[in-house]
Amino acid sequence: MRKKVKILVLGSMLYDCVTWGDRLPRKGETVVGYRNGFFTGGKGANQAVQAARMGADVYMIGLVGKDAIGEILITALKKEGINTKHITVTDKSATGTCCIHVDKNGDNAIMTAPQANLDISVKSIDEALDDIQDYDIFLTQLEVNINTTVYAIRKIKERGKIIVFNPAPAHKIPLETFKYADYISLNQTETEFYSGVLPIDQKTCVDAAKKLKEIGMKNILITLGSEGVFYSDKTSSFILPAYKVLAVDATAAGDAFNAAFTTALGGGMGAEEALLYGNAAGAFAASKEGAQSSLGYYDDIENLKKSAIIDKIIY
């Protein structure tokens, strides 16, 4: 990074149970897997860990239950050097959990029970923003209380901070929220939800970006899995192909991408170079098992990034 970056993350904290099998179950079907594991996760926590492993100073706003797995999640973040002062513990709801199925190709199906994550209040945001003022960039998703997230985005934009918004899982939110975010990152399913267009090739990516700009999005990142990432702003549109790895588990690959992009951007890089870091971090995570356990450190990501020349495809 060109400078030491300080990142504020608002997001979810989940305890994951992952089961691996030859294929994903169909509706009503039980598939016998060959092993399972338990991992610390949640989109917000995953992104915070990835940013910290890339060398960023990270502040995390979150909420867990007053239970054993809540303690496990907080301890894991502390071990990464993340500031957890504004992760609150509540006795009104349990810590969030997640069940993940992974097939032999590394594709997954996920169901979460957010629980405490849905109880984060605007009071928590106000307290955190009064206390934390020296961050460079803000990263958030939609895996916690949506009204609180929308409130946080608006308040942080009032303070002139750069915002990277990953509106996932996809939800209906006030469209004005999108205009506050400087960069909006979506996967293919989320893009279809917000634009009505499923991006699978050059034309559909361009069409989707046009629709997204019409509802207020500015700088748009559409992750395309093994095909890379499509980027579109006021002046250009292009695809950066993915780094090729042997996919083992796609869990947290999107979180790795978003956090690495945000860290590089906040560290003084332009959008295109930051996207390369995002692609490399996402590919590295997909080549490992689990959520936070799959996230690479700066040297891992830098080495993968240097392993191939990625030529962008301009539209």
State the pLDDT at residue 247: 80
Q: Is the pLDDT of residue 131 over 60?
A: yes
State the pLDDT at residue 289: 79
State the pLDDT at residue 3: 73
Ramachandran area for residue 115 (φ above 0: left; ψ -120 to 50: alpha; else beta): left
Q: Is the pLDDT of residue 42 over 60?
A: yes
- Coil, helix or strand for 255? helix
Q: How confident is the model at residue 315 (pLDDT cuts 50, 70, 90)?
A: low
**Parallel, antiparallel, or unpaired: how do β-strands 162-165 and 183-186 relate?**
parallel
CA separation for the pair 176, 189 (Å, rounded): 21
Total count of residues recorded for the chain: 315
Q: Please calculate the CA angle 215-217-219 and round it to the nearest 5 degrees.
A: 155
Q: What is the mean pLDDT of the chain?
A: 93
Q: With CA atoms as reference, report the closest residue to 240 among 265, 271, 210, 219.
A: 271
Q: Is the pLDDT of residue 5 over 90?
A: yes
Q: 78-87, 100-109, 303-312 — which is least confidently predicted?
A: 303-312
Residue 210, number of CB atoms within 10 A of its CB: 14
Catalytic positions: 255
**Global pTM?**
0.92
CATH 1.10.3720.10 fits 6-10+43-68+81-86+118-314, yes or no: no
Q: Is the pLDDT of residue 110 over 90?
A: no
